[in-house]
Amino acid sequence: MYADWIAADWGTSNLRLWAIGPEGQVMVERSSADGMGKLTPEGFEPVLVALAGDLLEPGRVTQVLICGMAGARQGWVEAPYTATPCPPASLSPVPVKTRDPRLSVRILPGVCQTDPADVMRGEETQIAGFLAMEPDFDGTLCLPGTHTKWVRVAQGQIRHFRTAMTGEMFALLSTQSVLRHSVHGEAFSDPAFADALEQALSAPDGLLLDLFSIRPSSLLNDTPAEVARARLSGLLIGSELAATRDYWRSMPVVIIGDAGLSARYGAALTRAGASARVSDHPALALNGLIAAHAHLSEDMT
């Protein structure tokens, strides 16, 4: 059975795609480790055909709608950013020339903000998926990850947003810095996380000193790695929450993302006094692509 159209989330480290049937059902889901980070512009079409060629009906053109880093400057074709404020489900995708006559590929743009300068690429489609489920949401979406996004949403639009490099900082410090000797393993102390969170929330300007202090604590006091690791996470997330108060202090927050990290952000926000919940809507990127595809189809009629 062939796809009516194909939805794809093509990020830096992998590609996920869904074949959508004629009644809108998801027929097939597939993924590949050939993310944007591994490909030159010429490399994208062969990866797509290798992963999805059997879903393309001979003699017919199949629409493929892509979100994510495939549209970055170093991706397949640059899909320039749309500026805030903007409705994330009705961004204008950029057509991509392909050699395979069965393909009609378009890439959705990311979203940018001028002041302060900020960008997202891929998250806007998850937000579109969330708004497909809760179109009247008025508040902040928090998308924790390597680069955590804080996004003010109202009336179906992305109004403004900020990005914190908390996740990337945690990864670098826990694997590459002097702190790696103190925070090894995966064990995690919730009380130590809460302590560090509150310390950073009440005195966020001490971050560069407090982070270092994790190392002498383990040298002098034999602090267990699970305490040191939770402290590192708590100091970083606490510092992030101190910097993003305008996004969570007086409006509802919904957290979107990986379950473990979402739970950690939910606990942190609740402890900080925010009204926060973790989204339980599945498949937000897919649903965002479906919403964007529906909008494009309306435009054509």
Cβ at position 244, least distance to its own copies in Å: 7
Among 28, 49, 112, 283, binds its own copies (CB under 8 A): 112
The correct pick among 33, 116, 222, 300 for binding its own copies (CB under 8 A) is 116
Antiparallel, parallel or unpaired: β 148-154 and 253-255: unpaired
Residue 123 contacts its own copies per CB under 8 A: no
State the CB neighbour count (10 A cutoff) for residue 74: 12
The distance of closest approach from Cβ of residue 31 to its own copies in the complex, given in angstroms and rounded to an integer, is: 23
111-113 and 118-120: which strand pairing?
antiparallel
Nearer to its own copies, 63 or 146 (CB): 146
How far is Cα 43 from Cα 247, in angstroms, rounded to an integer? 40
The Cα diameter of the chain in Å comes to: 72
Would you count residue 212 as binding its own copies (CB under 8 A)?
Answer: yes
- Minimum separation from the CB atom of position 212 to its own copies (A): 4
Q: What's the first-to-final CA gap in the chain, in angstroms?
A: 26
Sheet holding 253-255, edge to edge: 157-164, 148-154, 139-143, 253-255, 276-278
Nearer to its own copies, 113 or 126 (CB): 113
165 in contact with its own copies (CB under 8 A): yes
- Which residue in the set 208, 298, 300, 301 belongs to the binding site for its own copies (CB under 8 A)? 208
262 phi and psi angles, rounded to 5 deg:
-60, -40
The encoded tokens of residue 75 equal 């991706």
Residue 162 in contact with its own copies, rule: CB under 8 A: yes
Site for its own copies (CB under 8 A): which residue of 29, 54, 57, 168? 168
Identify the residue among 141, 211, 256, 289 touching its own copies (CB under 8 A).
211
Per-residue x/- track, 229-248, its own copies (CB under 8 A): -------x--xx-xxx----
Rg of the chain, C-alpha, whole Å: 21
Written as six digits, the tokens of 65 are 């709608």
53 alpha-carbon distance from chain centroid: 28
Residue 213 interacting with its own copies (CB under 8 A):
yes
Q: Does 140 bind its own copies (CB under 8 A)?
A: no
* Residue owning tokens 């929450």: 241
Interface with its own copies (CB under 8 A), residue total 43
Torsional class of 78: left (φ above 0), alpha (ψ -120 to 50), beta (otherwise): beta
Segment near its own copies (CB under 8 A); pick from 13-21, 182-190, 206-214, 250-258 = 206-214
Residue pair 251/138 in contact by the 8 Å Cβ criterion: yes
Binding interface with its own copies (CB under 8 A): 73, 81, 112-114, 116-119, 147, 162-166, 168-169, 172-173, 176-178, 204-209, 211-213, 215-217, 219-221, 236, 239-240, 242-244
